[in-house]
């Protein structure tokens, strides 16, 4: 039942826990649906950290159970049968569970069974915030949601809109692509920059001697745990790419709007880019483990609004402008980039054979922090 190659783990001791976390970190909060996707009395199934789960909304609240009957292991979602508001009945032998606590409250095919009232299906705690449904995938008492999301995401005046995409790479390919400062090179042809009158450099040349200032670690007692990348303040942005001293490629100079001044990544795998893609917006995104080889990519943009009118205006602007221009027009390139990394890391040996460079210092900091501060590692025996 070991999932990660032992030889690899021996050779990656500095971030062993991170390399082990092929299925993600357990005992953390993850977004899994937008609120609008889960409707009253209409259970929907999905996969999270390798587990099949089923989510329902009852009297407005969201409940999450394991999508696997205790009896013979079939997915309840294969044929949904909910005879009462508060229960779900397995289509196979009519074992019936309460949504709120998973209790096997009835077996319709044998009402007198001694199993009734004795067994519980695994349940998970859910919480809605900012139009997203977060699930606590764990076994301990959940800490506040605010400990597992980037700073400011939950701010009262922060309006959030976004999209969700399934990406065919491990979640760590997503996290590292997002936090990676020099991957910006892949975006050099994006239409977002000229249309939005901004500029994105081709890369960054770190100031030598300032290595110890490149990242700031935040180990939150009262909030989230993460890493700030300070490369912007301690490097020279590269607008002209040279080979053997000759310029060969240039950044598109779209305008003078300044964006992406502060980039940070937070456990269990969420990025904050502030501001982005516009001085008026912050991008929050999540790389949510689905299984070993895929993740849910949640891309959201937040804007501070003062009243319902501003909020409505932002919602319209998001859908008409920012979603096509930036989420798709800019970030879609990140999807194929992550998928292109997958093969190299799929058998775990990529973690040994990769050759990092100076600009990856923030990625190393993230790996170490995640190894140290995670609340648990999802294992095949959790599935």
* Contact footprint for a copy of itself (CB under 8 A): 68, 70-75, 78, 83-84, 87, 89, 91-94, 96, 105-115, 119, 180, 182-186, 202-206, 208, 238, 241-244, 246, 248-249, 336-337, 340-341, 343-345, 350, 353-359
Give the nearer residue to a copy of itself in terms of CB position, either 143 or 241: 241
Q: Least Å distance between CB 355 and a copy of itself?
A: 5
Give the nearer residue to a copy of itself in terms of CB position, either 181 or 225: 181
Q: Least Å distance between CB 97 and a copy of itself?
A: 11
Give the nearer residue to a copy of itself in terms of CB position, either 74 or 163: 74
DSSP-assigned states of every residue in 109-155: T-TT-TTTTT-B--EEEEEEETTEEEEEESSSPPPPGGGGS-TTTT-
Give the nearer residue to a copy of itself in terms of CB position, either 90 or 267: 90
Q: Least Å distance between CB 182 and a copy of itself?
A: 4
Q: Least Å distance between CB 181 and a copy of itself?
A: 8
| Closest to 266 in 3D by CA, of 379, 179, 177 | 179
Q: Least Å distance between CB 142 and a copy of itself?
A: 26
Q: Least Å distance between CB 1 and a copy of itself?
A: 9
Give the nearer residue to a copy of itself in terms of CB position, either 151 or 201: 201
As given in the structure block, the two tokens for residue 25 are 């970190």
Residue 325 C-alpha from the chain's centroid: 21
Give the nearer residue to a copy of itself in terms of CB position, either 148 or 360: 360
| Distance between start and end Cα atoms, the chain | 11
Give the nearer residue to a copy of itself in terms of CB position, either 354 or 372: 354
State how far the Cα of 330 lies from the Cα of 337, in Å rounded to an integer: 12
Q: Least Å distance between CB 338 and a copy of itself?
A: 10
| Closest to 233 in 3D by CA, of 263, 255, 256, 253 | 263
Residue pair 207/223 in contact (Cβ under 8 Å)? The answer is no
Give the nearer residue to a copy of itself in terms of CB position, either 319 or 344: 344
CB atoms within 10 A of CB 83: 11
The CA distances from residue 365 to 18, 52, 142, 274, 289, in Å, are: 11, 32, 26, 20, 20
Residue ranges in 301-360 assigned as alpha helix (H): 308-317, 332-346, 350-353
State how far the Cα of 58 lies from the Cα of 89, in Å rounded to an integer: 15
For 133, what's the count of Cα atoms within 13 Å in the CB-facing half-sphere? 25
CB atoms within 10 A of CB 210: 13
The CA distances from residue 240 to 94, 202, 207, 245, 251, in Å, are: 67, 7, 17, 11, 7
Q: Least Å distance between CB 231 and a copy of itself?
A: 10
Give the nearer residue to a copy of itself in terms of CB position, either 131 or 350: 350
Q: Least Å distance between CB 65 and a copy of itself?
A: 16
């Amino acid at each position: 039942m070991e999932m990660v190659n032992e030889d690899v783990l021996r050779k990656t001791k500095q971030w062993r826990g991170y390399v082990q976390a092929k299925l993600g970190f357990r005992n953390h909060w993850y977004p899994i649906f937008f609120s609008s996707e889960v409707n009253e009395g209409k259970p929907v199934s999905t996969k999270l950290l390798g587990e099949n789960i089923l989510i329902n909304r009852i009297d407005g609240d969201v409940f999450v159970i394991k999508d696997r009957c205790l009896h013979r292991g079939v997915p309840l979602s294969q044929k949904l049968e909910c005879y009462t508001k508060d229960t779900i009945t397995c289509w196979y032998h009519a074992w019936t569970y309460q949504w709120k606590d998973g209790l096997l409250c009835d077996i319709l095919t044998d009402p007198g069974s001694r199993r009734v009232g004795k067994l519980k299906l695994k349940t998970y705690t859910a919480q809605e915030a900012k139009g997203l449904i977060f699930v606590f995938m764990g076994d301990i008492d959940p800490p506040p949601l605010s400990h597992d999301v980037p700073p400011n995401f939950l701010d009262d005046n922060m309006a959030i809109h976004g999209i969700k995409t399934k990406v065919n790479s491990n979640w760590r390919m997503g996290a590292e692509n997002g936090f990676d400062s020099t991957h910006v090179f892949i975006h050099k042809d994006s239409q977002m920059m000229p249309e939005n009158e901004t500029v994105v450099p081709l890369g960054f040349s770190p100031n030598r001697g300032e290595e110890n200032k490149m990242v700031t670690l935040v180990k939150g007692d009262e909030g989230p745990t993460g890493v700030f990348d300070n490369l912007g303040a301690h490097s020279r942005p590269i607008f002209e790419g040279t080979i053997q001293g000759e310029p060969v490629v240039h950044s598109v100079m779209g305008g003078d709007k300044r964006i992406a001044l502060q980039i940070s990544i937070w456990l269990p795998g969420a990025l904050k880019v502030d501001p982005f893609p516009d001085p008026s917006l912050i991008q929050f995104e999540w790389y949510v483990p689905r299984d070993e080889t895929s993740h849910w990519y949640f891309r959201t943009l937040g804007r501070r609004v003062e009243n319902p009118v501003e909020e409505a205006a932002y919602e319209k602007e998001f859908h008409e402008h920012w979603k096509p221009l930036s989420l798709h027009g800019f970030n879609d390139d990140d999807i194929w980039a992550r998928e292109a990394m997958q093969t190299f890391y799929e058998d775990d040996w990529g973690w040994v054979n990769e050759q990092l460079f100076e600009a990856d210092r923030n990625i190393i900091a993230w790996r170490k922090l995640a190894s140290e501060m995670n609340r648990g590692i999802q294992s095949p025996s959790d599935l």
